[in-house]
Amino acid sequence: MSFPATDRLKRWYESHEVHFAIVGEDDEVQIGIAQRVRFIGDDRLAVEVPAGVWKALSDHIGEGRWIALHPGELGAVKAPYQLKGIIAIEQDRNTITGWFPESDTPVAILVELRELYITKPGPEAGQRVDAWSVEELTEFERELGWLKEENL
């Protein structure tokens, strides 16, 4: 599957902490914060799960479950996208170190990206754009003025 991860989208997710939401078997929504994420190609996202977050949410984070992710901090305002995908749990130390060499996190989530939504306020809000090509999404960003230097 091709996923339209533009350079701007990747940069914003990788430059900010990420807030994520998962739904456990009990249908309760749980929220977590990851300090770091890394794109693995265009259609997968590695998410660092700190030990405390894993301890609190491990009963809810499961293989094959859906996860929604959005940049936190300033990124929540200037990176108007929400990603959704399917969880795979990674506990291999060498793999995790390859993704996050600066981290000693015991577990990471590898997200197979499936859906991309625009969350920018305005008429574009809520629009699902994962079927677009990278070129189409980049042109859309350009038309909206998102590719200006101060927005990168």
Measured CA to CA, the distance from residue 96 to residue 81 in angstroms comes to: 25
In a domain, 116, yes or no: yes
Q: Flag the least confident range among 35-49, 87-101, 121-135.
A: 121-135
152, pLDDT greater than 80: no
In a domain, 92, yes or no: yes
At 27, the pLDDT band (50, 70, 90 cuts) reads: confident
Total structural domains within the chain: 1
39, pLDDT greater than 60: yes
In a domain, 13, yes or no: yes
At 150, the pLDDT band (50, 70, 90 cuts) reads: low
In a domain, 105, yes or no: yes
In a domain, 104, yes or no: yes
Measured CA to CA, the distance from residue 9 to residue 152 in angstroms comes to: 9
- The domain spanning residue 120 has which CATH number? 2.30.110.10
Q: Find the domain containing 26 and state its range.
A: 7-147
**What are the pLDDT digits (tens) for 49-68?**
999 999 999 988 999 999 99
In a domain, 1, yes or no: no
In a domain, 84, yes or no: yes
In a domain, 141, yes or no: yes
For residue 44, give both structure tokens. 């997968």
Four-CA torsion 143, 134, 39, 57, nearest 10 degrees: 70
**What are the pLDDT digits (tens) for 63-106?**
999 999 988 876 565 557 889 999 999 999 999 999 999 998 98
Kindly report the pTM of this predicted structure: 0.85
24, pLDDT greater than 90: no
